[in-house]
Amino acid sequence: MDGKSPDKNAPERMVWAFESAELILYGAVGVLLVVIAVLALAAEVDSIRQYLTGNPVMGLSSLIAAIIALELLMTVVGYMKTRSISLGLLLGAALTAMVREIIIFAYQPTNSQYFVLILLATALLVAAVYFVGDKTIHT
């Protein structure tokens, strides 16, 4: 033998490196969600006069998009704080997105098959919210 003992801390260092990378990536996602929310709100404020005089539903669509980004940001921040994911927040963001699609359906050129899929997805999300509730997954 060459007198060298294997490094017993190597697996611990690898785990630490992967956990650090995970937190950095979640932080980057959080920053991007903040940027999306700020841009959506800036677009909303910039064109609110146009929406009030023309099409307020599309203005509402931009506002709901900002709300969805904030809900996702809450999920990312919650995960970074507690290392757990709230299913209620994720389901709420998805349900908000589906309600947004239903609201703007009449104002965008889409076909009825797409609308049926939106209604089906909404029904599934409502069922998931009812059955799953606000459970938290700990990692």
Q: What tokens appear for 13 in the block?
A: 């260092």
Has residue 68 been placed in a domain? yes
Average pLDDT over residues 88-102: 89
123 lies in which domain range? Answer: 10-138
Q: What is residue 124's predicted lDDT score, i.e. its pLDDT?
A: 94
Q: Is residue 43 included in any domain, yes or no? A: yes
The answer to whether position 1 is within a domain reads: no
DSSP-based three-state secondary structure for 4? coil
C-alpha neighbours within 13 Å on the C-beta side of residue 52: 6
Query: Is 45 domain-assigned?
Result: yes
Q: Is residue 102 in a domain? A: yes
If one counts the domains in the chain, the total is 1
Question: Does the structure show a pLDDT above 70 at 2?
Answer: no
14: three-class secondary structure by DSSP: helix
Q: What is the pLDDT of residue 8?
A: 65
Torsion angle in degrees (nearest 10) through CA of 122, 123, 127, 132: -20
Q: Give 95's pLDDT tier (boundaries 50, 70, 90).
A: very high
The DSSP H or E segment spanning 138 is: strand 136-138
Which is higher by pLDDT, 112 or 8? 112
In a domain, 40, yes or no: yes
Residue 4 forms part of a structural domain: no
- pLDDT > 60? residue 4: no
Judge whether 60 lies within some domain: yes
Look at residue 49 and give its three-state secondary structure.
helix
pLDDT tens for residues 5-60?
A: 556 688 888 888 888 898 899 889 889 988 888 887 777 776 666 666 666 666 77
